[in-house]
């Protein structure tokens, strides 16, 4: 029996995701301010037995390129316009029965109590289908929307994030699962089973208890996208789902081995974490048709839109450089790991900054797979057997069509090979992922308790 692969979808509450060409594509829907837009995506993903879809999010309109946000609005760069994903996720939950839903929230600009309360609520209202995509945020523009002049430096962001998760785990543990009694003739809740959190640390003080009783999963599944050395260490400690971007098989294989190899120091097993590289599919009846669809999409991508997002991701103004030269010796303040990938791709293919901007607009360095359903299944199956992934995050070239085509044509081929489920066997996101019941103590404290 072949190893089953997990499937997920990448979204932003926006008409642009990794593909900056998406909003310009003739098949791209533009009604992203309406619930029907998201309901169609959710139903297509559930039809393909996806474990979940998740929403990336950024807390600012990109304005690092040329220190001006107006160009981002003009060309339609990533997050030029986006809704709050937590409310969108709830609307998608109402349109589906099984599909898991991931929401991004930052540990830098929120408080642990706020996050613990919000995700406890979301877990109840989705019937246990929620994940928290943990980010530390990395741009001054985000900081300035929350009353700070500049963002925290890289190490401090992760130190704060570690303590943030310790505090939120404690808050989720404040209600024991059977604390809520609701006996109309007697007890509402058992006071002996609701506890203060009393977290006091460098960054946070929070007393607890939470107002939200224990939820179906006890806490959300934890998702992360650590790509720097420090980010991978954070992911190894906390994450159960890891989102990865790397365009090369050797890069994905090295990342998979690196992160899985870090788990033992936190008392965790390789199966406790599912690693999901992302890609953009172009499905065709023939390979020629698929490649024509890919070429048409890629031609719509504006390199300036890509460079605007590149500048936002790395918190560095790339408008200062020649478009006809490669990037060299640049120190960035944003996503260090992804910038390493960008530099590696630049060196390997001798790309100019214009070329890199075009690639970024086409899909933020995600690999693109164009072919028949069988050819796409071949590549995904090979990646699983090569220990590059536990599953894949599908990123769309246009919405909702990319998800519809993948679910209707590629998934049946994967099912025929025994690689994808033919029905949902559980009710929660943890069930879909095959994860053990959630722990409510942070990994470091779990080891001490044992």
Cα 217-219-220 angle, rounded to 5 deg = 85
- Say how far apart CA 230 and CA 235 lie, in whole Å: 9
pLDDT at residue 255, as a whole number: 96
**Pick from 13-27, 193-207, 224-238, 342-356: least confident:** 342-356
Q: Is the pLDDT of residue 17 over 70?
A: yes
Q: How would DSSP label each residue in 347-391?
A: HHHT--HHHHHHHHHHHTT--EEEE-HHHHHHHHHHHHHTTS-SE
CB 256 within 8 A of CB 384: no
Q: What is the average pLDDT value for the chain, to the nearest integer?
A: 93
Dihedral sign computed on CA atoms, order 78, 83, 85, 91:
negative
Q: Is the pLDDT of residue 449 over 90?
A: no
Residue 1 pLDDT grade (very low, low, confident, very high; cuts 50, 70, 90) = very low
Contacts of 168 (CB under 8 A, 6+ apart): 112, 115, 116, 119, 219
| 186 token code pair | 């007697």
pLDDT at residue 442, as a whole number: 56
Q: Name all contacts of 426-429 with Cβ < 8 Å and 24+ positions apart.
A: 427/98, 427/127, 427/128, 427/216, 428/100, 428/127, 428/128, 428/129, 428/216, 428/217, 429/51, 429/52, 429/100, 429/101, 429/128, 429/129, 429/130, 429/131, 429/217, 429/221
**Pick from 120-129, 150-159, 277-286, 322-331: least confident:** 322-331
Cα 64-66-70 angle, rounded to 5 deg = 80
CA dihedral 236, 274, 248, 24 (to 10 degrees): -110
pLDDT at residue 337, as a whole number: 67
- Which pTM does this prediction carry? 0.92
**Pick from 118-122, 333-337, 364-368: least confident:** 333-337
CB 392 within 8 A of CB 279: yes
């Amino acid at each position: 029996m072949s190893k089953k692969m997990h499937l997920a979808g990448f979204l932003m509450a926006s008409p642009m995701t990794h593909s900056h060409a998406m909003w310009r594509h003739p098949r791209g829907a533009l009604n992203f301010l309406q619930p029907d837009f998201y309901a169609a995506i959710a139903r297509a993903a559930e039809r393909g037995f996806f474990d979940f879809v998740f929403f990336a999010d950024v807390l600012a309109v990109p304005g690092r390129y040329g220190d001006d946000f107006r160009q981002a609005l003009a060309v339609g760069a990533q997050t030029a316009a986006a809704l709050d994903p937590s409310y969108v996720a709830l609307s998608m939950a109402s349109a589906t029965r099984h599909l898991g839903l991931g929401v991004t929230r930052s540990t830098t600009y929120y408080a642990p109590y706020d996050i613990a309360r919000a995700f406890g609520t979301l877990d109840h209202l989705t019937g246990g289908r929620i994940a928290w995509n943990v980010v530390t945020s990395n741009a001054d523009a985000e900081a300035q929307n929350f009353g700070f002049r500049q963002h925290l430096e890289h190490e401090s962001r992760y130190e704060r994030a570690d303590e943030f998760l310790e505090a939120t785990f404690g808050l989720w543990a404040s209600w024991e699962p059977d604390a809520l009694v609701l006996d109309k003739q007697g007890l509402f809740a058992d006071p002996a089973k609701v506890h203060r959190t009393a977290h006091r640390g460098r960054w946070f003080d929070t007393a607890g208890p939470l107002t939200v009783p224990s939820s179906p999963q006890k806490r959300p599944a934890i998702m992360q996208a650590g790509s720097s050395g420090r980010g991978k260490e954070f992911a190894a400690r906390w994450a159960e789902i890891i989102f990865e971007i790397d365009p090369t098989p050797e890069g994905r294989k090295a990342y998979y081995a690196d992160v899985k190899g870090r788990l033992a120091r936190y008392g965790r097993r390789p199966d406790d974490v599912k690693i999901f590289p992302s890609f953009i599919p172009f499905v065709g009846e023939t390979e020629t048709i698929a490649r024509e669809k890919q070429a048409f999409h890629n031609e719509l991508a504006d390199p300036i839109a890509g460079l605007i997002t590149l500048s936002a991701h790395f918190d560095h103004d790339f408008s200062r450089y020649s478009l006809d030269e490669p990037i060299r010796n640049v120190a960035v303040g944003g996503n260090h790991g992804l910038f390493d990938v960008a530099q590696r791709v630049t060196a390997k293919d001798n790309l100019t900054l214009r070329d890199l901007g075009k690639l970024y607009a086409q899909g933020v360095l995600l690999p693109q797979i164009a072919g028949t359903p069988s050819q796409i299944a071949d590549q995904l199956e090979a990646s699983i057997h090569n220990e590059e992934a536990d599953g894949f995050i599908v990123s769309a070239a246009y919405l909702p069509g990319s998800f519809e085509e993948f679910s209707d044509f590629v998934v049946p081929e994967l099912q025929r090979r025994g690689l994808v489920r033919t029905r949902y066997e559980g009710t929660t996101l943890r069930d879909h992922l095959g994860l053990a019941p959630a722990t409510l103590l942070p990994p470091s404290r779990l080891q001490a308790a044992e």
